[in-house]
Amino acid sequence: MKNNMYRLALASVLFTGAVGLSSSQRPPAEKGLKDYYQAYFPIGVAVSPQALKNPAEVALILRQFNSLTPENDMKMGPIHPEENRYNWGPADAIVDFAQAHQLRVRGHNLCWHEQTPRWLFKNADGSPVSKELLLRRLHDHIDTVVKRYKGKIYAWDVVNEAVADDSTQLLRNSDWYKICGEDFIAEAFRYAHAADPQAVLFYNDYNTERPGKRERIYQLLKKLKQAKVPIDAVGLQGHWSLVEPTEKDLRATIERFASLGLKVQITELDVSVYPWEKDRRARRPGESDAYTPEMQQKQTAQYKLFFKVFRDEVKYLTGVTFWNISDHYTWLDSYPVAGRKNHPLLFDENFKPKPAYYEVVNF
């Protein structure tokens, strides 16, 4: 690690001193995550169009990452707010940026129970739509969005988070499920495949390393494979923490899904300094936002372990994407309610690499 820090420091001295040299004399620009992992898999990041206008964030993205995921702008609500109106601007801005800088794009997502537009599940008179109409709407949405970005988006999260957290059910009791039963899942994959046969199609979910949920997801994916549904891969979101997952659960998860002939990606990686708390993230009285040395140390060890496992599992793993760029902005600070300041990423609030970064690139 010391060695690496020394090399980075030296590189930046050389680089600053190199202004005025001809291009053949200039030393190579400092390496980033994407370069250290070039022989392994692309390293991506979730972005908004606003971040792509901020020079400090742009510099960090271009140095460190070679794949982008729109954090929100391709979800059905934002991109298709009314039945006959698409809002392409923000999504196009991200795809155009990626094209200009030769970055890959993962599309996120085509069918989810959150961030759905208000018109989707209702008839004009407010009554719930029939299964036939809902599937037709799903088809038209997927067909339009996937075809627009054909050749520019290499992979899609087709169905997001359809499996229940509750161990007594296989599928989440969403409006999709209530109206269509489980058929919407297979149909979504068929529509996406018909629109772009080259795109790599994912089922994407969270808490995939917890044995109970892992098995429920496994059952769903096995059924889809047996029915010859065009699904290629599974996305482990990777919203992890200082206490989970264990190495054993992480390896078991990757290998269990790979045994179905699916590729695996980590699609939304961050390591929260608080335990999993999706339903109770609000700031509690008397709590501080401190990012303590103990938290930082544990987080560094977690990142080191996770990337060691990722490298070991490279046969199955085809990408790792972080959910947000740096601790300057993370969804964990504000979703679903304003909560404690979190510090889940490899770069700090000033866009500087944290100790965890050096452990990830030093192998």
3-state SS, residue 131? helix
| Minimum gap (Å) between residue 311 Cβ and ligand 9MR | 24
Residues 103-132 that bind ligand 9MR (CB under 6 A): 114-115
Residues 107, 95: Cα–Cα separation, whole Å: 10
Could you tell me if 182 and 174 are in contact, meaning their C-beta atoms sit under 8 angstroms apart? no
The answer to whether residue 241 forms part of the interface with ligand 9MR (CB under 6 A) is no
DSSP 284: P
| Minimum gap (Å) between residue 268 Cβ and ligand 9MR | 5
| Minimum gap (Å) between residue 78 Cβ and ligand 9MR | 10
Could you tell me if 232 and 193 are in contact, meaning their C-beta atoms sit under 8 angstroms apart? no
The answer to whether residue 335 forms part of the interface with ligand 9MR (CB under 6 A) is yes
| Minimum gap (Å) between residue 257 Cβ and ligand 9MR | 17
| Minimum gap (Å) between residue 90 Cβ and ligand 9MR | 13
| Minimum gap (Å) between residue 206 Cβ and ligand 9MR | 6
For tokens 């400092």, name the residue.
30
Residues 131-160 that bind ligand 9MR (CB under 6 A): 160
The answer to whether residue 246 forms part of the interface with ligand 9MR (CB under 6 A) is no
Residues 65-94 that bind ligand 9MR (CB under 6 A): 71-72
Backbone angles phi, psi at 3, to 5 degrees: -50, -45
Q: Which is nearer to ligand 9MR, 114 or 289 (CB)?
A: 114
Could you tell me if 179 and 135 are in contact, meaning their C-beta atoms sit under 8 angstroms apart? no
3-state SS, residue 104? strand
In 10 A of CB 277, how many CB atoms? 13
**Residue 354: is it exposed, middle or buried by C-beta count within 10 angstroms (0-12/13-18/19+)?**
buried
| Minimum gap (Å) between residue 75 Cβ and ligand 9MR | 7
Could you tell me if 214 and 244 are in contact, meaning their C-beta atoms sit under 8 angstroms apart? no
Residues 283, 337: Cα–Cα separation, whole Å: 9
Residues 343, 329: Cα–Cα separation, whole Å: 9
The answer to whether residue 237 forms part of the interface with ligand 9MR (CB under 6 A) is yes
Q: Which is nearer to ligand 9MR, 269 or 360 (CB)?
A: 269
Residue of 57, 71, 187, 268 marked catalytic = 268
The answer to whether residue 6 forms part of the interface with ligand 9MR (CB under 6 A) is no
Residues contacting 46, CB < 8 A, separation 6+? 68, 69, 70, 71, 108, 268, 321, 322, 323, 324
The contact mask relative to ligand 9MR for 20-59 (x = CB under 6 A, - = no) is: ----------------------------------------
3-state SS, residue 162? coil
Q: Which of 73, 196, 268, 313 binds ligand 9MR (CB under 6 A)?
A: 268
H or E segment at 27? none
Q: Which is nearer to ligand 9MR, 114 or 312 (CB)?
A: 114
Q: Which is nearer to ligand 9MR, 160 or 302 (CB)?
A: 160
Could you tell me if 240 and 302 are in contact, meaning their C-beta atoms sit under 8 angstroms apart? yes
Residue of 161, 187, 209, 313 marked catalytic = 161
Could you tell me if 87 and 81 are in contact, meaning their C-beta atoms sit under 8 angstroms apart? yes
Residue 268 a catalytic site member:
yes
Q: Tell me how far apart the terminal alpha carbons of the chain are, to the nearest angstrom.
A: 9
**Amino acid letter at 251?**
R
Q: Which is nearer to ligand 9MR, 10 or 337 (CB)?
A: 337
Q: What number of chain residues touch ligand 9MR (CB under 6 A)? A: 9
Q: Which of 222, 331, 349, 362 binds ligand 9MR (CB under 6 A)?
A: 331
Residue 30 a catalytic site member:
no
Q: Which is nearer to ligand 9MR, 200 or 361 (CB)?
A: 200
Residue in the shown chain whose Cβ atom is closest to ligand 9MR:
331
Q: Which is nearer to ligand 9MR, 54 or 72 (CB)?
A: 72
Could you tell me if 58 and 65 are in contact, meaning their C-beta atoms sit under 8 angstroms apart? no
Give catalytic residues, as residue numbers. 161, 268
Q: Which residues bind ligand 9MR (CB under 6 A)?
A: 71-72, 114-115, 160, 237, 268, 331, 335
